[in-house]
Amino acid sequence: MVQQGCKPPQLFHKMHQPKIKILAIPGSVNDGSTSHQVLKYIAATFNHQIDLEIYAGLGTLPHFNPVTDSKGAPAEVMQLRTRIAAADGVLFCTPEYVFSLPGSLKNAIEWMVSTTLFSGKPVAMIVAAASGQKAFESLDLIMTTIESVLPDTSKLLIQAAKGRVGQEGEISDEDLRKKSAVWYNPCCTP
């Protein structure tokens, strides 16, 4: 699936770094979830090009509280902020729950809003759900509002995800795989 003769990456490119450092933030706290499977697949498939770390702390973040935030964010939040700052780009992969983003993911994003961490940060997003349209629109709107760099080519909606993502996280649906081939390889421009 890795394409030959790729141009330099449009999103996560840094001339001086051989490997692009990506922080992947799953929208599910369950590491056997479809979202985790997709992220693990991307990490393994492109490990010669990208250094992708999957954030595992979503379920341990305290509930967002603007008063606490203004007094000094908790250690778990500071750690996530540090990891986002250190990454060349951030990749979200999330399900949709009750027509929205999962609460855990929304909570994590709320802790970031008082910062400028996402301003100018290259972001890519995958929503893997039954329908996923609302979560897709919501994450797109949020990321655009907090000024991340999120071109259309870095947004992927995998509908009927359970049937289109294989056991190893690979996209098993051929049409969708073709459509997402460029996206799946961050070193290729469309």
Interface residues with ligand FMN (CB under 6 A) are: 28, 30, 33-35, 95-99, 128-132, 161-162
What whole-number distance in Å separates Cα of residue 116 and Cα of residue 184?
Answer: 27
Taking the complex as a whole, the smallest distance from the CB of residue 158 to ligand FMN amounts, in Å, to: 8
Which C-beta is closer to ligand FMN: that of 34 or that of 138?
34
What whole-number distance in Å separates Cα of residue 102 and Cα of residue 94?
Answer: 8
Taking the complex as a whole, the smallest distance from the CB of residue 147 to ligand FMN amounts, in Å, to: 27
Rg, the chain, Cα only: 16
Structure tokens at 103: 């609460």
What whole-number distance in Å separates Cα of residue 80 and Cα of residue 58?
Answer: 9
Taking the complex as a whole, the smallest distance from the CB of residue 169 to ligand FMN amounts, in Å, to: 10
- The sign of the torsion formed by the CA atoms of 78, 87, 1, 173 equals positive
- H helical segments located in 128-173: 133-145, 161-164
Which C-beta is closer to ligand FMN: that of 26 or that of 89?
26
**DSSP 3-state of 162:** helix
Which C-beta is closer to ligand FMN: that of 30 or that of 119?
30
CB-based contact 62:99 (threshold 8 Å):
no
Which C-beta is closer to ligand FMN: that of 22 or that of 58?
58
Which C-beta is closer to ligand FMN: that of 57 or that of 74?
57
Taking the complex as a whole, the smallest distance from the CB of residue 79 to ligand FMN amounts, in Å, to: 23
Taking the complex as a whole, the smallest distance from the CB of residue 60 to ligand FMN amounts, in Å, to: 18
